[in-house]
Amino acid sequence: MKTLKDVKIGETVKVARLNGGGAVKRRIMDMGITKGTEVYVRKVAPLGDPVELTVRGYELSIRKADAEMIEIA
């Protein structure tokens, strides 16, 4: 399945599932990224890390490793 890491700049996608577990998954959920949430990819750093997103009306930067844990529809 496609992950948030694979999304191009300017695309809006919907979160299908969160992989991983424990503290990492909890941290991602605490940032507002939950199943069914729409995520807009604003920018990607020149080397690909971090990725800047718009989630629930605010800007958020996450690492590429965390973006790989987020499956999209």
Domains of the chain plus CATH, in order, are 4-72 (2.30.30.90)
For residue 25 the two structure tokens come to 């998954």
For residue 5 the two structure tokens come to 């890491």
Smallest CA-to-CA distance from 67 within 9, 11, 19 is with 19
List, in order, residues 6 or more apart from 2 with CB less than 8 Å away: 71, 72
Helix segments in 1-73, DSSP class H = 22-30, 64-67
Calpha distance 40→24 (Å, rounded): 21
- Mean local confidence (pLDDT), 49-71: 93
pLDDT digits (tens, 9 = 90+) for 5-55: 889 999 999 999 999 888 989 999 999 999 999 999 999 998 878 999 999
pLDDT band at 73 (very low <50, low <70, confident <90, very high): confident
pLDDT band at 60 (very low <50, low <70, confident <90, very high): very high
